[in-house]
Amino acid sequence: MKFVEDAILFHATMLNDRRRTAGYLASIRDIVKPGDVVVDIGTGTGILAIAAVRAGARHVYAIEEARIARVARTLFEANGMTDHITLIRGRSTEVKLPQRADVTNAPCCDRKKRMVRVERPKRFCQCLH
Q: Where are the domains of the chain?
A: 2-125
CB within 8 A of 40, min separation 6: which ones? 46, 48, 49, 52, 60, 61, 62, 63, 105, 106
Contact 4, 67 (CB under 8 A): yes
For 53-74, the pLDDT digits (tens) are 999 999 999 999 888 899 999 9
Rg (CA), the chain: 14
For 13-32, the pLDDT digits (tens) are 666 677 767 777 888 888 89
Just give the CATH number of 2-125.
3.40.50.150
